[in-house]
Amino acid sequence: MPVPRNVAERAKALREEIERHNHAYYVLDAPTVPDAEYDRLFRELQEIEAAHPELRTADSPTQRVGGRPLPEFAPVRHAVPMLSIRTETDTGPEGARNFDARVRRALGLGEGAPAVEYAAELKFDGLAVSLRYEDGVLVRAATRGDGETGEDVTQNVRTIHCVPLRLRGESPALLEVRGEVYMSRPDFERYNARQREQGRPTLVNPRNGAAGSVRQLDPKVAAERPLSFYAYGVGECGGWGVPGRHSALLDALEAFGVPVCEHRTVARGAEALIAFHARILALRDALPFDIDGVVYKVNALDLQKELGFVSREPRWAVAHKYPAEEETTEVLGIEVQVGRTGKLTPVAHLKPVFVGGVTVTNATLHNEDEVRRKDVRVGDTVIVRRAGDVIPEVVAVVRERRPREVEQAKPWSLAEAVGNECPACRSAIARADGEADWRCTAGLYCLAQRKQAVLHFASRRALDIEGLGEKLVDQLVERKGVESVADLYDPARINAATLADLERMGEKSAQNIVAAIERSKSATLARLIYALGIRNVGEATAKDLARHFGSMTDLMAADVEALQRVPDVGPVVAESIAGFFGEAHNQQVIRRLLQNIRLHRVEEGGPVAVLQGLTFVLTGTLPRLTREEAGALIEAAGGRVSGSVSKKTDYVVAGAEAGTKLDKARALGVRVIDEDGLRRLLGQ
């Protein structure tokens, strides 16, 4: 029985609409419909395809959920080999100069000849794949393999939401897109946190997570992994006038709806390459994904052809790397540290190793389950990772280098290591059902927690009590009897005279501390909430809570159900908050704090509320304010600061050398203002 025409047309319309929403959400970061509406459209398409299987097409969004498990991966021979590129060993500026000099020599260019034009882009730390589109529809995805032959991973790649199942616009008869599957750091951390909560294995690092996910024989497992994709070139093409420059080629792929990283440029000559290398290095820690360098390619495709290959590597491209973020070293010991929330964290003492630009001697092991899963033991050779400001961590053991006596030793146990007692106060330790962490049961009476609570309370992003560092807090707790953060505002306990007799403190320093404490008495509600050190409540959640409730009284009175009405607050966070405010001791401390601290509350009106409900994005260099200062002014006035531009952005505040965020704002029609415009909005 033929499918009714109206049903077939509805299925086609649903496929197109859902893919438009997918592109907006996963590629443009600009959602176009609420989740509930998207789910309704998706379910409707599933129901139609279930009733009429003949309508289920290869480019249907329903095919992203993962098919049947495969017995093995079928081999795929690449029509155009997927060759690797040469790595420049010099990670400094000379690396770019060396490459440019080789290119100029190979092209026969003398000293007076014009600079060579290059395309510069990022070197992603993921898994290289090839996507084959025929008449605009994704028909096959394959890994690089040995460059000549890869593996068919089509079912797994279909589960990556940012990979288009059908190209946009008039697409070529044949287009093979080359790119990198990767896992962003935030997605990696969220995935591992969820796995830990469920007592399931975690991923070693984002790169291994991406590579392992693409090569899962069960596509449903791959569908659970938060993968992304960026294109960086093409392979076999047919029925398409390929652009003459690599930069234009990437622009064309982006127009087809294929994700292409915004951090790319056209650079003329070695010095421009050096500037790009330095700019990305400065940006590296802020990127949401891992890179291990940048890539330079001669931009003109005819010159690429002229330069050709040597030893199966293109003469026209090079990878200019950054210092390694992973190295191997030896575990000298495992110590247990107590955090400000009472969490007991195993820390590996390491043979010093230079990684990520610094010498590392300690690395976190997260919790006992992680130590056991990785089977880390004293004497092991381990892989240590440090990226940016992230705390160094042990990611894996090099088992083949384990000494025999270490192999014969018992696996490490936290409870045995500390004798079932808190290392800081000798109180009992406990581990709740379903939790991965051991905790000290002494709460605020634990010396380690008390010090850390005060340090966190005084930190720059909390109440910002300048000068109240670790050495001074140690003395305040041990010699002045500071038992809670409220004691900081007790003039009988903390004053210039009592501070002056402490080590490394004179009269002037004591007066500065007292002045800093006095300044901290004027604070935003969000800062105070964050300063309390509530488990699972970071800066962003503290701001959301402050916006939603508007006062500490209303927040303290909220139950779990009311707390879950706050954006991004789920059951676990809500339980943490409710449990914190349910403790009589915490209520007493907060009441004492509120007697001394004057809060800027949104409901008080005036300049505090002028930006309520508005979202801002900051880009470029402002003439008088740093981005942090501008962001603080916006948030103090009730506004929200976002890191990316979308249709939900109300204003982009642009300064000198504004980048792609400004371009995206103009493309989306978002209002753009300068620092003076921001000050006018603030009423300054």
C-alpha 104/C-alpha 118 separation (Å) is 12
Q: What are phi and psi of 38, to 5 degrees?
A: -60, -45
Which single residue is written with the structure tokens 């290959």? 309
| 123 is a catalytic site residue | yes
C-alpha 29/C-alpha 22 separation (Å) is 10
**Which pLDDT value is given to residue 27?**
59
**Which pLDDT value is given to residue 518?**
93
Give the domains, in start order, of the chain with CATH numbers. 5-65 (1.10.287.610), 117-321 (3.30.470.30), 326-440 (2.40.50.140), 443-520 (1.10.150.20), 524-604 (1.10.150.20), 606-682 (3.40.50.10190)
Higher pLDDT, 168 or 146: 168
Residue 356 has pLDDT above 80, yes or no: no
DSSP string, 200-251: -PPPS-HHHHHHHHHT-SSHHHHHHS--EEEEEEEEEEESS---SBHHHHHH
**Which pLDDT value is given to residue 69?**
46
pLDDT (mean) for 109-126: 93
Tell me if 17 sits within 8 A of 25, measured CB to CB: no
Higher pLDDT, 449 or 248: 248
Which single residue is written with the structure tokens 């109440």? 463
Higher pLDDT, 444 or 204: 204
β-bridge mates for residue 616, sequence order: 641, 651
Helix (H, G, I), strand (E, B) or coil at 100: helix
Residue pLDDT, tens place only, 298-350: 999 999 999 998 867 899 999 998 876 778 899 999 999 998 778 899 999 99
Higher pLDDT, 258 or 23: 258
Highest mean pLDDT among 51-60, 250-259, 580-589: 250-259
Higher pLDDT, 428 or 186: 186
Q: What are phi and psi of 24, to 5 degrees?
A: -65, -40
Helix, strand and coil in the chain, % to nearest 5: 40, 20, 35
**Which pLDDT value is given to residue 604?**
38
Residue pLDDT, tens place only, 281-308: 888 878 889 888 999 999 999 999 999 9
DSSP string, 64-81: GG--SPPSSPPEEE-SS-
pTM attached to this predicted model: 0.52
Residue 627 has pLDDT above 70, yes or no: yes
Percentage of the chain lying above the pLDDT 70 cut? 93
Amino acid sitting at position 205: N
Which single residue is written with the structure tokens 């103090």? 636
Identify the band that residue 492 occupies on the pLDDT scale cut at 50, 70 and 90: confident
Identify the band that residue 240 occupies on the pLDDT scale cut at 50, 70 and 90: very high
**Which pLDDT value is given to residue 535?**
75
* Phi and psi based region of residue 145 (left: phi greater than 0; alpha: psi -120 to 50; beta: remaining): left
**Which pLDDT value is given to residue 603?**
38
Identify the band that residue 461 occupies on the pLDDT scale cut at 50, 70 and 90: confident
pLDDT (mean) for 405-433: 87
Identify the band that residue 65 occupies on the pLDDT scale cut at 50, 70 and 90: low
Identify the band that residue 605 occupies on the pLDDT scale cut at 50, 70 and 90: very low
Identify the band that residue 647 occupies on the pLDDT scale cut at 50, 70 and 90: confident
**Which pLDDT value is given to residue 404?**
93
Identify the band that residue 64 occupies on the pLDDT scale cut at 50, 70 and 90: low
**Which pLDDT value is given to residue 651?**
93
Minimum mean pLDDT among 166-175, 500-509, 638-647: which range? 638-647
Is 389 buried (19+), middle (13-18) or exposed (0-12) by CB count in 10 A?
A: exposed
Helix (H, G, I), strand (E, B) or coil at 524: strand
**Which pLDDT value is given to residue 387?**
62
Rg (CA), the chain: 29
Mean pLDDT, the chain, rounded, equals 86
Kindly name the residue from 12, 123, 220, 664 that is annotated as catalytic: 123
Minimum mean pLDDT among 9-18, 165-174, 374-383, 550-559: which range? 9-18
**Which pLDDT value is given to residue 66?**
45
Instruction: Tell me the H-state helices in 399-506.
Output: 404-408, 414-418, 447-458, 470-479, 496-500
Amino acid sitting at position 465: I
Identify the band that residue 537 occupies on the pLDDT scale cut at 50, 70 and 90: confident
Residue 1 has pLDDT above 80, yes or no: no
Which single residue is written with the structure tokens 């300064």? 655
